[in-house]
Amino acid sequence: DADVTQTPRNRITKTGKRIMLECSQTKGHDRMYWYRQDPGLGLRLIYYSFDVKDINKGEISDGYSVSRQAQAKFSLSLESAIPNQTALYFCATSGTAYGYTFGSGTRLTVV
């Protein structure tokens, strides 16, 4: 099993729909992150959490919300999806060294 698991792997949704992307990890890390990746823009931080009670906005949090249900689970919601939220979304965890461990990503298309 992967250390960081994201579901779904791919999703197509309509404008205005609510959608949730899920992330679970077996690393035992406290720190979890959601990034989106767009061509030419690199990875940009949406939200991050350092423990279950600690949630923080990243640089592009508008239109997104998160929930840290447990140390191992961190979900990202798009309350009302819009086309410019079409992107590749990554969940990542971080321990004490060697940066992030990434999930395999969710490719989201909003039509």
CB of 72 to other proteins, least distance (A): 18
Residue 44 binds other proteins (CB under 8 A):
yes
Window 45 to 74, contacts with other proteins (CB under 8 A): 45, 48, 50, 58
Backbone angles phi, psi at 46, to 5 degrees: -95, -60
Distance of CA 100 to the CA centre of its chain: 13
CB of 102 to other proteins, least distance (A): 4
Number of residues that bind other proteins (CB under 8 A): 24
Q: How far apart are CA 27 and CA 95, in angstroms?
A: 8
Tell me the two tokens of residue 14: 């309509």
Residue 102 binds other proteins (CB under 8 A):
yes
